[in-house]
Amino acid sequence: MPLSSETSSPRDGARTGLLLVNLGTPDAPTPAAVRRYLAEFLSDPRVVELPRALWWPVLHGPVLMLRPREAARRYASVWTPEGSPLLAWSRRQQAALAAELAARGHEVEVALGMRYGSPSLGQELDGLRARGCGRILALPLYPQYSASTTATVFDALAQRMGRLRDQPELRMVRQFHDDPGYIGALAARVRDFWRRNGRGRLLVLSFHGLPQRSVRLGDPYHGQCLETARLLAQRLELAEGEVMVTFQSRFGAAEWLQPYTEPTLQALARDGVAEADVFCPGFVADCIETLEEIAQQARAAFLRAGGRELRYIAALNDSPEWIGALADMALRNLQGWPTRPAGAVAPGAGN
């Protein structure tokens, strides 16, 4: 058979793909949908590090019997016409990133997968392969690395890859907690909020919590949260006493990273802090943890404790600074792989 000199077809693995990954969300704000989502999420041994013999009766007993109804009510309070806020904002990030890469002259297939729920990580990986991507960069949208978040993405990808005979090349971004573009996008978000709304007496940086046991076992998450906070405070030129770090979303009876966000805000209000701003740097897209837990629950608790105003600063979402930083990050990690159309000349190349 004669060898062809024609360019590769879209399905022969010549294309490059980028798979954005976020945590996931129920398909609807209903107890049944929340139950399905929680069953998958809380069954992950990296998320709940307890012996199955101990955890399984609790999960399939009181947790999945009682928690979905209350959680569904919370989801319903922030649900949008586009569905879950997390999915809606992640879709916008996917579209904006694809447009930004194309505007820079790069031809990259950009997909979005959720670690739990839909669109599923495995299906999106298969979709990229079906569109001819033989090289795929996975970019978990978790700035700070944790075994219960980032590592679970690697687990899921490895499990899917283990079923394939013809595997694509695969890379994965581990973390970007100190990435200058990410820090710059955070600072731009805060400055823009202050420019439009004025500035509170204190900036509270609330990160998702983690069991203390995880840190003792060697998880780097806590240190990376503190480093993000330090770099952001430095970029905003904040003095000591103008910013503090707290941790939210505690689950279960075990000790988690402290100080806890809501009790801290209540204590601040009782101590005479009338106004405070809360920002959640670990969440790059608004979701139930930011919109309901902080902007609704924590705000109400702060006001009940005597505070006058608690203002939530929106997550990065699809802000231009964040999309630009995300594109820079993607291109750094895609180096060496083909991302330009055949015959295209890279910027700065000779005639």
Report the domain count for the chain: 2
User: 265 and 50 in contact (C-beta within 8 Å)?
Assistant: no
331 pLDDT more than 60:
yes
Residue 167 and residue 32 share a domain: yes
Q: pLDDT band for position 11 (50/70/90)?
A: low
d(CA 266, CA 278): 13
For residue 93, which of 52, 139, 148, 38 has the smallest C-alpha distance? 139
Is residue 2, in this structure, part of any structural domain at all? no
Residue 209 and residue 141 share a domain: no
Residue 189 and residue 71 share a domain: no
Residue 165 and residue 298 share a domain: no
Q: pLDDT band for position 3 (50/70/90)?
A: very low
Is residue 340, in this structure, part of any structural domain at all? no
Residue 212 and residue 166 share a domain: no
Phi, psi dihedral angles at 41 (to 5 degrees): -60, -50
Is residue 4, in this structure, part of any structural domain at all? no
Residue 295 and residue 232 share a domain: yes
Residue 30 and residue 112 share a domain: yes
Residue 244 and residue 155 share a domain: no
Residue 250 and residue 206 share a domain: yes
Q: Chain centroid to CA 135: how far?
A: 23
Q: Residues 138-189: pLDDT tens digits? A: 999 999 999 999 999 999 999 999 999 999 999 999 999 999 999 999 999 9
d(CA 168, CA 145): 24
For residue 98, which of 326, 266, 304 has the smallest C-alpha distance? 326
Is residue 96, in this structure, part of any structural domain at all? yes
289 annotated to a ligand binding site: yes
Residue 165 and residue 281 share a domain: no
Host domain of residue 119: 15-176+320-333
For residue 116, which of 94, 82, 84 has the smallest C-alpha distance? 84
CATH code for the domain of 112 = 3.40.50.1400
Burial of 44 (0-12, 13-18, 19+ CB in 10 A): middle
Is residue 255, in this structure, part of any structural domain at all? yes
d(CA 77, CA 130): 38
Is residue 341, in this structure, part of any structural domain at all? no
Q: Per-residue DSSP letters for 59-100? A: IIIIIHHHHHHHHHHHHHTT-BTTB-HHHHHHHHHHHHHHHH
Global pTM reads 0.92
Q: What is the mean pLDDT of the chain?
A: 93
Q: Where are the alpha helices (DSSP H) in 170-296?
A: 180-197, 212-216, 221-236, 261-270, 288-291
Is residue 346, in this structure, part of any structural domain at all? no
User: 38 and 116 in contact (C-beta within 8 Å)?
Assistant: no
Q: Residues 239-253: pLDDT tens digits? A: 989 999 999 998 877
Residue 153 and residue 257 share a domain: no
107 annotated to a ligand binding site: no
Q: Residues 291-316: pLDDT tens digits? A: 999 999 999 999 999 999 999 999 99
Is residue 324, in this structure, part of any structural domain at all? yes
Structural tokens at position 117: 């729920």
Residue 187 and residue 65 share a domain: no
